[in-house]
């Protein structure tokens, strides 16, 4: 981050201008974040540049954050998320002279992030945190919340995107992915089920984080307990499967999505049951009977959707996901399909669950 770019932003936040130390936060994949400390006052805060390519209207992203923060504060929920800070002029979003969008958050001291759960108990605590988050908004008017990425978890639209990608002229990739494509097409009923959900009033929209993973949780360094979720840019109206399904996908899997050892990927029973138990601690009384009936579809739908997305991006020439080698999105898609098959087998064996 060059001095010329952030000095303008910091002057808009603090005038007269202080001398600052600026430390990049390395674990962000979408936005650029920095820990900033004033050499004058010693105050520390988080400065973040919103990715204007991914989030085409940054004002909607910031408006959502302010809505949920004020709702949590005004309704005495006791649920903590970092406070949004104001620039000079009372705005919480600043557009610099290069049309980059910035915001400032309260810095949460004494915390750390993790890339994967260290135990089923930790996975349960993460799931309970995200369940608690959604449960706090039971009385919130979902119509007030902006859609920051249209169709983000729309499985039907993702399937259509996958079908369009099959018209690629990259015939070598199409040939390589032939078996993968057949398996995904055989499971089109998952996309059809999504349409049933969205057309029925017994599957209401709720406030969903839409990126519910352990990497988006702050933990207390001393106690190891969860402090709060972070990264609410995709928080918007969504359906019951999104957050629970994402946690199953990211925490119950024996290997992460970049592993090329797909033949050995599996669902870890103790983690799966811990995630479900933690989430339902807060959401059991909130879910409708229909949502409870299809609760085990949460992981199926999200994992299937992710395999569709990786496959479509591979056939389209790797235009969305970052890759470090040419076949990476293909490997990711195979990884997620293997995880999906493992989950299907697990649910049938452990719960005698109907996958249709």
What is the pLDDT, as a whole number, of residue 16? 67
Q: How confident is the model at residue 40, as a pLDDT?
A: 85
Domain assignment present for residue 356? The answer is no
E strands within 213-295?
Answer: 217-220, 226-229, 236-238
CA Rg, the chain, in Å?
21
The answer on 249 and 130 residing in a single domain is yes
Which range marks the domain in which residue 320 is found? 120-351
Residues 6+ apart with CB under 8 A from 218: 108, 111, 112, 113, 226, 227, 228, 229, 230
Question: Per-10-residue mean pLDDT for the chain, 356 residues long?
Answer: 67 81 73 88 92 89 98 96 95 93 96 96 98 98 96 97 97 97 98 96 97 97 98 97 98 96 96 98 98 98 98 95 94 98 98 93
User: Are the C-beta atoms of residues 9 and 96 closer than 8 Å to each other?
Assistant: yes
The answer to whether residues 124 and 171 belong to one domain is yes
Cα–Cα dist 107/36, whole Å: 9
pLDDT value at position 106? 97
114 domain-assigned = no
25, part of any domain: yes
Write down which residue in 107, 132, 162 finishes a domain. 107
Give the CATH number, domain containing residue 20.
3.30.200.20
Assigned token pair, 236: 């918007």
Structure tokens at 115: 């890339």
- Can you give the CATH number for the domain in which 228 is found? 3.90.1200.10
Round to whole Å and give the CA distance between 123 and 185.
32
In the numeric block, which tokens belong to residue 163? 């079908």
The CA distance from 301 to 245, in Å, is: 7
To the nearest 10°, report the CA torsion of 226, 266, 231, 284. Answer: -60
Looking up tokens 């809505």 gives 67
- The answer to whether residues 138 and 218 belong to one domain is yes
Q: Which of 302, 292, 288 is nearest to 138 (CA)?
A: 288
Residue 210: predicted pLDDT: 97
What pLDDT shows up at residue 4? Answer: 42
Q: What per-residue confidence (pLDDT) applies to 30?
A: 59
Count of structural domains, the chain: 2
Rounded Cα distance between 1 and 36, Å, is 12
How many other CB atoms sit within 10 Å of the CB of residue 174? 16
What sign does the dihedral 311-314-318-321 (CA atoms) show? positive
Domain check: are 183 and 231 in the same one? yes
């Amino acid at each position: 981050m060059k001095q010329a770019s952030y000095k303008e932003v910091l002057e808009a936040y603090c005038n007269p201008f202080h001398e600052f130390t600026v430390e990049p936060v390395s674990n962000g994949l979408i936005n650029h974040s920095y820990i900033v400390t004033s050499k004058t006052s010693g105050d520390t805060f988080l400065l973040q540049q919103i990715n204007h390519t991914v989030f085409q209207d940054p004002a909607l992203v910031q408006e959502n954050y302010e809505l949920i923060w004020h709702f949590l504060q005004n309704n005495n929920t006791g649920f903590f998320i970092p406070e949004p800070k104001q620039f000079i002029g009372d705005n919480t979003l600043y557009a610099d002279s290069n049309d980059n969008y910035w915001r400032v958050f309260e810095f949460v001291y004494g915390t750390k992030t993790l890339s994967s759960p260290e135990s089923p108990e930790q996975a349960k605590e993460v799931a309970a945190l995200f369940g608690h988050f959604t449960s706090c908004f039971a009385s919130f008017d979902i119509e007030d919340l902006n859609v920051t990425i249209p169709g983000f978890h729309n499985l039907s639209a993702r399937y259509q995107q996958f079908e369009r990608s099959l018209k690629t002229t990259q015939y070598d990739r199409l040939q390589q992915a032939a078996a993968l494509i057949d398996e995904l097409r055989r499971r089109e009923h998952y996309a059809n089920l999504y349409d049933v959900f969205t057309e029925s009033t017994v599957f209401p929209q709720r406030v969903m984080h839409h990126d519910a993973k352990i990497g988006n949780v702050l933990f207390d360094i001393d106690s190891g307990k969860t402090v709060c979720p972070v990264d609410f840019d995709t928080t918007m109206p969504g359906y019951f499967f999104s957050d629970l399904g994402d946690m199953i996908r990211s925490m119950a899997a024996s290997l992460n999505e970049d592993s090329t050892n797909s033949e050995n990927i599996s669902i870890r029973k103790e983690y799966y049951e811990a995630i479900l138990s933690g989430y339902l601690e807060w959401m059991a009384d909130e879910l409708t009977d229909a949502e409870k009936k299809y609760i085990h579809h949460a992981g199926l739908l999200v994992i299937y959707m992710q395999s569709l997305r990786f496959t479509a991006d591979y056939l389209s020439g790797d235009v969305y996901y970052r890759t470090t080698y040419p076949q990476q999105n293909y490997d990711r898609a195979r990884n997620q399909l293997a995880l999906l098959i493992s989950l299907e087998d697990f649910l049938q064996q452990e719960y005698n669950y109907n996958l249709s």
